[in-house]
Amino acid sequence: MARYYDLDDIITEDEGTSVIFQVGANGVGLLDPSSENNNVEKGSKVDLPFWLAHELYLRKAVTINFPACFNQKIRKEIQADAACVDLKIQCPYFYEFGCKIIPLTGDKTLGSFLQYAFTSRYKEALSKSHGAGTSPKFLNRLTIEETHLFEAARCSMINLKKWRLGGCRLEKAAILGRKRKSV
């Protein structure tokens, strides 16, 4: 709730999470496309947005399957060469979603894995963002948080270059440009 107005936080919570219903639920058939009547059977596997899965989990109505974007395959890839993994395609809010899912899955290694991934990918972003040209290919691999980081650094470099080259030093106030209305 602390980040109630944070758009990124809201979108993070929209991430699909696969859950297994522990109880039958009546009247919510639209959650499960395969249900024939309007109910979700006990034990059926359904994809829910994280915010809903979280609430149902707290009420012990569902158990949460471990999300695919943190599975062993991805972990191996990150360990091999973190900078080359396309995390955006896995989950645009990889880190934030990971942090949110930790208390629900009780996975003890996920936290250190996220930290490792961020630390090793951070260096790449650092050297690329302050340098000259960058390939769009590299940008496509970044998660949203990494993109913010990258853009923050690049903007300040661009501003510095602009300032150094000079140009018009006196800016005209917006109001001065307007023509006087004929009465």
Q: Using the rule CB under 8 A, is 102 a contact of another protein?
A: yes
Residue 49 has, within 13 A of its CA and on its CB side, a CA count of: 7
The distance of closest approach from Cβ of residue 101 to another protein in the complex, given in angstroms and rounded to an integer, is 11
134 binds another protein, rule: CB under 8 A: no
Phi, psi of 48 (to 5 degrees): -125, 155
Binding of another protein by 11 (CB under 8 A): no
Q: Report the residue from 50, 57, 70, 95 that binds another protein according to the rule CB under 8 A.
A: 95
3-state secondary structure 27-70: CCHHHCCCCCCCCECCCCEEEEEHHHHHHHHHCCCEEECCCHHH
Return d(Cα 72, Cα 44) in angstroms, integer. 24
Number of residues that bind another protein (CB under 8 A): 32
CA distance 3 to 15: 17
Name 18's bridge partners.
47
- Which stretch, 10-18, 44-52, 74-82, 112-120, contacts another protein (CB under 8 A)? 112-120
Of the listed pieces 17-25, 48-56, 57-65, 160-168, which binds another protein according to CB under 8 A? 160-168
> Considering the rule CB under 8 A, would residue 165 count as an interface residue with another protein?
no
Q: Which of 71, 127, 134, 140 binds another protein (CB under 8 A)?
A: 127
Give me the sign of the Cα torsion angle 35, 39, 41, 46: positive
Give residue for tokens 């899955």. 105
Pick between residue 43 and residue 111 the one whose CB is nearest to another protein: 111
Give the tokens for residue 126. Answer: 């650092």
Shortest distance, position 148 Cβ to another protein, whole Å: 6
Binding footprint of another protein on the chain (CB under 8 A): 95, 99, 102-103, 108, 111-112, 114-115, 118-119, 122-123, 126-127, 129-130, 145, 148-149, 152-153, 155-157, 159-160, 162-164, 166, 169
